[in-house]
Chains A and B, each alone.
Chain A
Amino acid sequence: MPPTDPIPDTTMAITATPATPSAPPSAAYDAILEGFAARIRQAAEAGTPLRIEGGGSKNFYGGPLHGEVLSTAAYRGVIAYEPTELVITARAGTPLAEIETVLAERQQMLAFEPPRFSPTSTIGGVVAAGLSGPRRLQAGAVRDFVLGTRIIDGQGRILTFGGQVMKNVAGYDVSRVMAGSLGTLGLIAEVSLKVLPVPVAEATLRFACDPAEGIVRVNRWGGQPLPISATAWHGGALWVRLSGAEAAVAAARAVLGGEAVDDGAGRALWQALRDQTHAFFASADAAGTPLWRLSVPSTAQPLDLPGETLVEWGGALRWLAADLPADKVRTTVLAAGGHATLYRAGDEAKVRAGGAFQPLSPAMAALNRNLKREFDPKGVFGPGRLYPDF
């Protein structure tokens, strides 16, 4: 390719990138994995729970933490990255930051924009936590990018599901189920994720409006072919991010109007929302106010719940910082067709008492329990983290 070519040459594959200069060779990795499996088998025999930990950066999320820590940190490194296949495969303990660096070198990204709580966050933890950032609106959630996994189940069996290809319908989609399972179904040892090119152009627009108006607008725009990749309403203004080809972003700006936000400020805003360092989160944290994550149909009216709110994902994600009875929050959100998660409670004991997640219908609870029992018959993995009874 001539050096003047404007199109980056990303055809070369990076394979078996050592995680650190001192990274052990592949046989040593096999030994680490066998070690995890042996530990899980012992725990199953002894009936003692384990708590899988990546970087521990999401320890705040979910129910109480029981059991001895099984850290995946040693099992790290990118196994294969092929930009032209749009796939990266990595060991669970690989830091998220390392993966993002490798992708950025080829102008690619994890399009679900997982929050980066700390430099120690791992890719296994990202998938297990199932949290997605602002771009979820346009690109999809973690689960939508999981192509394959290698897992260790509750009997210590090392199993491979899915693969490195875009389409694969052989057998049940076990890989996607691991997304959001919070370490309660099995240990994610390796994961293959679909990656996407970084958009050529981005721009941020601001509109002054109340939340009801903001929700109406983002839904109306959602029905038009506009390259909207993120939205946020907070404190009297609606922010909209456009991503795509230069021409598409320019055309959409002309259609939408609003006030153009400086590029640097726009980037900082979306990053703060993504990593949950935005003032909305920071002040809730500082005041020790419980933080609720409310997932609702995008068109739901502003909910009748007092407190500070932040609305993302075209109206489908509503954050609420408020000290309210859990029952009131859950019934209000349920009536709107959604579900509520007590994302962080100022007072730990309080969350834990009621459980972090919306209770399931009896039929769904039975299916969840059955599935947990099949993955983890002895209840080794994070008992009570997802629901108190399994």
Chain B
Amino acid sequence: MTHIEPSSQTDPLAETTPLGAAPPASSPVGSPTGPGKGIAEAGNAGSGGNLYTASQWRLMWWRFRKHKLAMASGIFILLVYVLLVFAEFIAPYHSSDHNAAYQHAPPQRLHLFEETPDGSRFNPHVKGLEYETDEETWRRSFSPDEEQVYPVRFFVRGHEYELFGLFTTDIHLFGTTDPEAPMYLLGADRLGRDVLSRVIYGTRISMSIGLIGVVMALVLGVILGGISGYFGGWIDSAIQRVIEFLRSIPEIPLWMALTAALPRSWSQVQVYFAITVILSIVGWTTLARVVRGRFFSLREEDFVTAAVLDGASRPRIIFRHMLPSFTSHIVAAVTLAIPAMILAETALSFLGLGLTEPTVSWGVLLREAQNIPSIAHTPWVLIVPATAVVSTVLALNFLGDGLRDAADPYNK
């Protein structure tokens, strides 16, 4: 137990990160560092089998639990993914339902109690909306109509939808009992569409682009990074050159050019997948670096040497012995790569180059709030999707950071 002494803690690998190449969202000294010495001790050498991996995960979980903020963020992200899966059920309206009468309607208040002559009683409801139009500016100003009370309940009937393409239903998590009543808890946009519902639908697109993009980047990154790290030599330098090249071009113009080149005739689904591919073109480099770094440090570890001496084949060594021993690092790196993808999609859609209506992503929603006058008069059109983006990305970063610390405690 002498690793408390600072000088014995210097990890030679921590210093070999190539100059000027640390990914912005990751640890300053580059994540590919620190053969978790404590972890390695806990595992058994020789067969490098399940015991090693199991105890590694358990250690990681113990350490992760100590990061309160990362834990909370993890729960938040889980909830966001629930939103993604059940968007139709949770959103009170469809993302393209519009009602000209309520254009630019401000957020309504959800009242929990109703004041009746015989005292107040529990009856969640929203008030109706009335408006006046200014003769000069043609702007409407809304005010609650105290007379109209529309009860709000769980599991109400609304528009029909198909859940998972399996069955059709019209039950929604919550809504007004009267389907015609207005309920804009987070306001309405310029066409009278419910901002809340649109953000929920946007979550589906934005979060899944992040996830799918990362999976693609991961596959590329693990394969190329693994090859690079395992074989070294000229293969490694060639791959490193490509990575360097990709990282040296400013990514936004590159993405802009690639998305602009997508055929106009493509369907939204095709565009969606094309964009995830485009985003992962740059995204894989970060992951490849992590994988390569881990490979370099692991190559020297005992259990790999033992496997080599046992005469195990190369792919077997890579996939059976080496990969499992640093999946924790990959999980952390992946978590940190998702927000970058989300932000990229948001930016592209905001510029009008990525997804467009009727597909709703957070970027598409933010595009609605492009000019100062609209922000001034209907701030919720900006604030609501912006909050969704910022809080999700923040939570993902906290989570990823906590995971990384847990995976690699010696590389603070």
> Do A and B come from the same complex?
no
Residues of B at under 8 Å CB distance from A? none
Residues of A at under 8 Å CB distance from B? none
